[in-house]
Amino acid sequence: MLNEIHKSLDQAYEEMVEIRRYLHQYPELSFEETKTAQYIANFYEELGIPYKTNVGGNGVIATLKGGKPGKTIALRADFDGLPIQDEKDVPYKSKVPGVMHACGHDGHTSVLLSLAKVIKEYQQELPGTIEFLHQHAEEYAPGGAKPIVESGAIDHVDAVFGTHLWATTPLGVLQTSKNAFMAGTDRFTITIKGKGGHGGYPHETKDAIVIGSNVMSQLQQITSRRLDPMDTAVVTVGVFEAGTAFNIIADQAKLVGTVRHFSQDVQEMIIEEMEKIIKGVCISNDADYEFDYVKGYPPLINNESEAELLLEAGEKVDGVTRAEEVAPVMAGEDFAYYTMEKPGTFFFTGAAKEGHVYPHHHPMFDLDERALPIAAKTLISAYFAYQDK
């Protein structure tokens, strides 16, 4: 039966592309995805598959109970866009100014909807139950996964699998990890409060730009000199805002950045070290400060047995040239909340578009749509493999 399903998914390729391109033209930002959620709900309504809306927010979960006994497995896809202007010159370019699907979530949704349509035809032969988990707000913490988990929507689920179409990995390549796969992602804001004044009288001021620059420089020493070299972390300042004119010394500076980590111990150490640095620099310059640290998504830790199952199942999928274990990446994913609660694994489906390889969250982002059926076939293969576990 699995081979027949794979063939049906290959035959559904044109519809997968059509769905993906429609969603690409009408993206919605995190927590604002009401029209997309309605589109998803309408799709299941037409299929005759029972579904629930407003799960943990804008989430939609459809349930397909097979005709044979078995386990209940959730397959997850996210569907929010990003506040980025689409700069591609393609017929399916975003029609929403300043918003685009720059991370492939339109493709994830297309994969899951198309898979549901195909599997519905095999419902009586299907062992167990599939929960088609359409999640909102992956891009912006606190995200959609956490409230979905807290709602109890996956309490009855035996395992959760999900994929990300990965635009920097070659088509046909599947990648995952048997342990830590994606980093915990935090955000911080540091506000330096000095004393402004005339550019010609620096001795009468407390230059927030100089103080902020000192803080930023010393923050880099956390990972290079204070973190165990065997651990992995990133401290990045992405925003430095200060000053109003060439001849005025700034009284305030704001630094905004991110911390990436793979363990709570490292996370807590970095927070402590950041506080010491900021406080020390400001004391030495007789300045005040505010330090706001927001803990975001936890590290995404795959379950080893499910990752092995995924790799073995993926190797048998037509169109897959390689299924491999890779080192963790420093990007984050709130799929982490699912694997904290249930067995499961998350994996990348290679979708690099030849001659158009732009990273995720880029205004020119696009993907090779031939990856869509590969992702769908791999997800359903993992489903059947877990039934036999």
> The domain that contains 342 carries what CATH number?
3.40.630.10
> Does the annotation mark 138 as catalytic?
yes
- 23 and 63 belong to one structural domain: yes
SS3 content of the chain, % helix, strand, coil (to 5): 35, 30, 35
- The dihedrals phi and psi of 193, each to the nearest 5 degrees, come to -115, 100
Which pLDDT score is estimated for 49?
A: 98
Would you list the DSSP string of 63-104?
A: EEE-SEEEEEEEEEEE--BBS------STT---STT-B--SS
Same domain assignment for residues 139 and 231: no
Q: Which domain holds residue 376?
A: 2-182+299-387
Question: Same domain, yes or no, for 149 and 208?
Answer: no
What's residue 269's pLDDT? 98
Assess whether 58 and 192 both reside in one domain: no
- Same domain for 173 and 192: no
Spatial distance between the Cα atoms of 245 and 55, rounded to a whole number of angstroms = 49
Looking at the structure, tell me whether residues 114 and 239 fall in a common domain.
Answer: no
**140: its two tokens:** 């912006």
Cβ 172 vs Cβ 162: under 8 Å: no
Let me know whether 132 and 112 are in one domain: yes
Q: Which of 240, 275, 297 is the last residue of a domain?
A: 297
Are 277 and 330 found together in one domain? no
Please state, in angstroms and rounded to a whole number, the distance separating the CA atoms of residues 302 and 349: 16
Same domain, 307 and 255: no
Q: Which of 86, 106, 131, 138 is catalytic?
A: 138
CA neighbor of 108 nearest in space, from 127, 134, 89, 71 = 134
Choose the final residue of a domain: 242, 265, 297.
297
Provide the pLDDT for residue 389. Answer: 87
Whether 155 and 267 map to the same domain: the answer is no
- Same structural domain for residues 324 and 379? yes
**The domain spanning residue 228 has which CATH number?**
3.30.70.360
Question: Under DSSP, is residue 146 helix (H, G, I), strand (E, B) or coil?
Answer: helix
From the candidates 28, 33, 78, 80, which is the catalytic residue? 80
Question: How far is the CA of 295 from the CAs of 39, 257, 278, 285, 383, in angstroms?
Answer: 32, 12, 18, 29, 33
For residue 8, give the nearest of 127, 113, 115 by alpha carbon: 115
pLDDT for position 357:
85
- Number of folded domains that form the chain: 2
Residue 182 contacts residue 296 (beta carbons within 8 Å): no
Same domain, 366 and 288: no
**Per-position pLDDT tens, the chain of length 389:** 999 999 999 999 999 999 999 999 999 999 999 999 999 999 999 999 999 999 999 999 999 999 999 999 999 999 999 999 999 999 999 999 999 999 999 999 999 999 999 999 999 999 999 999 999 999 999 999 999 999 999 999 999 999 999 999 999 999 999 999 999 999 999 999 999 999 999 999 999 999 999 999 999 999 999 999 999 999 999 999 999 999 999 999 999 999 999 999 999 999 999 999 999 999 999 999 999 999 999 999 999 999 999 999 999 999 999 999 999 999 999 999 999 999 999 999 999 999 998 999 999 999 999 999 999 999 999 999 999 98
- State the pLDDT at residue 374: 98
Confidence (pLDDT) at 20: 98
The residue from 275, 297, 319 where one domain ends is: 297
